Amino acid sequence: MTAFNLNDLHLFVQAVESGSFTAAGHHLGIPKSTISKRVAELEEKLGVRLIQRTSRSFALTDIGRDFFDHAQASIIEAEMAESIVRNRLGEPSGIVRLTAAVPTAQFTLANHLAELTARYPKLKVSLHVTDRFVDIVQEGFDIALRSHRFPLGDSTLVQRRIAVHPFLLVASPDYIAQYGRPERTEDIADHKAIMPSLSEEQWRLVSDSGAETVVTPQPIMAADEPMVLLKAAAAGMGITILPTSVCNDALKDGQLVRLLPGWTAGSITTTILMPHRRGQLPSVRAVVEFLAERLAG
**Cβ(216)–Cβ(189) under 8 Å?**
yes
Task: State residue 127's pLDDT score.
Answer: 94
CATH code for the domain of 235: 3.40.190.290
Predicted confidence (pLDDT) per residue in 162-179, tens digit: 999 999 999 999 999 999
Residues 169 and 263 in one domain: yes
Nearest to 135 by CA among 273, 284, 238: 273
Cβ–Cβ < 8 Å for 221, 238:
yes
Task: Tell whether 79 is covered by a domain.
Answer: yes
Residue 87 pLDDT more than 60? no
Q: Is the pLDDT of residue 293 over 80?
A: yes
The number of residues in the chain equals 297
* Whether residue 89 has pLDDT greater than 60: no
Query: 282 and 148: one domain?
Result: yes
Q: What is the mean pLDDT of the chain?
A: 88
Using pLDDT thresholds of 50, 70 and 90, give the confidence band for residue 14: confident
Q: Do 170 and 261 fall into the same domain? A: yes
Give yes or no: residues 158 and 274 share one domain. yes
Task: Please state the domain count of the chain.
Answer: 3
Residue 262 CA to its chain's centroid (Å): 30
pLDDT tier at 8, thresholds 50, 70, 90: confident
Q: How confident is the model at residue 188 (pLDDT cuts 50, 70, 90)?
A: very high
Based on the domain organization, do 237 and 103 belong to the same domain?
no
Question: Residue 267 and residue 168: Cα distance in Å, rounded?
Answer: 9
How high is the pLDDT of residue 278?
Answer: 67
CA 27 to chain centre: 21
Res 1 pLDDT > 70 = no
257 domain residue, yes or no? yes
The answer to whether the CB of 250 falls within 8 A of the CB of 257 is: no
Question: Tell me, what CATH number does 113's domain have?
Answer: 3.40.190.10
Residue 48 within any structural domain of the chain: yes
Residue range of the domain that includes 105: 91-162+269-295
Mean pLDDT of 1-12: 74
User: Is 142 within the bounds of a domain?
Assistant: yes
Are residues 156 and 65 part of one domain?
no
